Structure 1
Amino acid sequence: MREIVLDTETTGFEPATGDRIVEIGAVELLNHMPTGRTYHQYINPQRAMPQDAFEVHGLGDDFLRDKPVFAAVAQAFVDFAGDARLIIHNAAFDMKFLNAELGWAGLPLLAMDRAVDTVAMARRRFPGAPASLDALCRRFGIDNSARTLHGALLDAQILADVYLELIGGRQPDFGLSSDGAQQTDTAVAWRPSPVPVRCRRA
């Protein structure tokens, strides 16, 4: 079974009022094991980056100015996602933005039933407990020390670890399959790796 763990960063909260995606990060899982394949793209939102969004993402107008617009990279994202199930933290938010951008690019929309919401999973498993990505990292002992800013690829990599914990599935660190056979080196060695630091505006 192929799954894509993904995250987006945006200029705000509502595409209907002009907010756009500025970054997509995605990690491929095969039978609940990371394959090492990722997708990562910065995107020019074609609008000024609000100060509050800049403070969260560290992505400023100067950095994004020479990046491609979504329409130019939309097909590459669609091809990477394929028909896989989409694992997303607060799925309604990311799916709303992805489908808005795909619609503007003239491409078919993503079916909502493809998305698995890890926030909903966490709330079912731990009723009343915080369900943020940081809170789940603390609960499961997942190292998120590199998460000083919200970055889509790093968040997707961390979410992949969180998702594996939530489903109680095979853990990459253990190096064993369900029948005791050792996994491939790619699966065993995988760890969320820091994304290169972006230059911030003064």
Structure 2
Amino acid sequence: MREIVLDTETTGFDPLSGHRLVEIGCVELFNHLPTGEVFHRYCNPERDMPEEAFKVHGLSVEFLSDKPLFAEIVADFLEFIGDAPLVIHNAEFDMRFINAELARLGFPALPMSRSIDTVMMARKKFPGAQANLDALCRRFEIDNTHRTKHGALLDSELLAEVYLQLIGGRQPGLELGGGKGNGAGSAASASTQEVKRDFREPRPHGPTEEETAAHTAFVAKLKNAVWLRE
């Protein structure tokens, strides 16, 4: 099964207020495991960068000024994600921005039904606990010390690990289909090996004469013992 873990960075919180997408990062999963295939692009938002947003991701107007417009990367982006489910942390936010960019160019919107929201998964699995990406990395002991600022590709890579834990963790050898590059014989390679065991004669379980005598003496001391009832 192919899935795409996706994250974006933007100039703000609301695309309807003129905020734009400035970075998009995607990680391909096959049978829930990263294949090594990624999609990562910066985009020129054609507007200023609010200070609040800059503090989050560190992407300045100067840095983004020579980057392509979303219109120049949209074909590659849509080809990469294909029709795969989209694993997103707080899916509504990212989907709104992506669909706003698509709408500007006359493309149909991506349906929310394609998204798998890991925030909702985390809140259901750990009610009342923090569900942000840093908190989930701490919970699952995923190293995120290199995450000093938000970054779409880095966050997608971390989210892929978090997602794996949210769905139950890695179980090697249980994949039923050969993943990319694994070959159709992958499952067969995980077959069990015959275990040789030393033969032992069955132990006798009947009581010895001494044990029978000790039991009889013990029962004789009991009042209305069940062993003496007919």
Q: TM-score, normalised by structure 1?
A: 0.86
**What is the rounded CA distance, in whole Å, between the counterparts of 1:179 and 1:43 in structure 2?**
37
**What is the rounded CA distance, in whole Å, between the counterparts of 1:96 and 1:177 in structure 2?**
38
SS at match of 1:170: coil
**Which residue in the other structure is 1:129 paired with?**
129
Deviation, 1:183, is: 8.3
Contact 1:56-1:149 within 8 A present in 2 as well: yes
Contact 2:26-2:153 within 8 A present in 1 as well: yes
Deviation, 1:109, is: 1.1
Which of 173, 176, 189 is the matching residue for 1:177?
173
**Which residue in the other structure is 1:93 paired with?**
93
**What is the rounded CA distance, in whole Å, between the counterparts of 1:66 and 1:177 in structure 2?**
46
Over 3 Å counting, the alpha-carbon distance change for 1:179 and 1:56 in structure 2 is closer
Deviation per CA, 1:9-54, whole angstroms, max 9, x where unpaired? 0000000010000000000001111100000000000000111111
**Which residue in the other structure is 1:157 paired with?**
157
**Which residue in the other structure is 1:45 paired with?**
45
Structure 1: gaps of 5 or more residues: 187-202
**Which residue in the other structure is 2:79 paired with?**
79
Task: Tell whether 2:33 aligns with 1:33.
Answer: yes
Deviation per CA, 1:122-174, whole angstroms, max 9, x where unpaired? 00000000000000000000000110010000000000000000000426xxx
**What is the rounded CA distance, in whole Å, between the counterparts of 1:117 and 1:65 in structure 2?**
32
Contact 1:32-1:169 within 8 A present in 2 as well: no
**What is the rounded CA distance, in whole Å, between the counterparts of 2:56 and 2:132 in structure 1?**
15
SS at match of 1:5: strand
Give the counterpart letter for 1:126 in structure 2.
F
Higher-Rg structure is: 2
Deviation, 1:73, is: 0.6
SS at match of 1:19: coil
Contact 1:170-1:178 within 8 A present in 2 as well: no
SS at match of 2:135: helix
Deviation, 1:177, is: 2.0
Aligned length: 182
Deviation per CA, 1:99-122, whole angstroms, max 9, x where unpaired? 000111111210110000000000
Structure 2: gaps of 5 or more residues: 183-230
Give the counterpart letter for 1:114 in structure 2.
R
SS at match of 1:165: helix
SS at match of 1:37: strand
**Larger relative CO (CA 8 A, sep 6+): 1 or 2?**
1
**What is the rounded CA distance, in whole Å, between the counterparts of 1:179 and 1:89 in structure 2?**
25
**What is the rounded CA distance, in whole Å, between the counterparts of 1:179 and 1:144 in structure 2?**
27
**What is the rounded CA distance, in whole Å, between the counterparts of 2:161 and 2:2 in structure 1?**
16
Identity of aligned residues (%): 62
